[in-house]
Amino acid sequence: MTLRLYAILYLAFLYAPIALLPIFAFNDGTVIAFPLRGFTFEWFRQLTEIPALHAAVLNSLVIAVSSAVIATLLGICAARAATRFSFPGKRGILGLVMLPLVLPEIIVAVSLLVVLLQLGLGLGAWTVILGHVLICVPFSIAILNSAFQSLDRSLEEAAIDLGETRWSSFRLVTLPLVMPGIISSLLISFTISLDEFIIAFFLTGTEPTLPVYLWSQLRFPQKIPVVMALGTLLVLASVLLLTIAEYARRRGVARTGQKDSGGFL
pLDDT values of the chain reduced to their tens digit, one per residue, 265 residues? 788 888 888 888 877 777 777 777 777 766 666 777 777 788 788 888 888 888 888 999 999 999 999 999 999 988 888 887 777 777 787 788 888 888 888 888 888 888 888 887 788 888 899 999 999 999 999 888 888 877 766 676 677 666 666 677 777 777 778 888 888 888 889 888 988 889 999 988 778 888 888 888 777 777 778 878 887 887 887 788 778 767 766 766 666 555 554 554 5
Q: How far is CA 87 from CA 93, 155, 197, 223, in A?
A: 10, 23, 37, 55
Sign (positive or negative) of CA dihedral 260, 140, 19, 17:
positive
Give the CA angle between residues 140, 144, 149 to the nearest 5°.
Answer: 155
pLDDT at 258: 54
Kindly report the number of other CB atoms within 10 A of residue 156's CB atom: 19
pLDDT at 39: 78
Give the CA angle between residues 114, 120, 124 to the nearest 5°.
Answer: 80
62-256 CATH pick, 2.50.20.10, 3.40.190.10, 1.10.3720.10, 1.10.730.10: 1.10.3720.10
pLDDT at 157: 66
Largest distance between two CA atoms of the chain: 73
pLDDT at 169: 75
Tell me the chain's radius of gyration from C-alpha atoms: 22
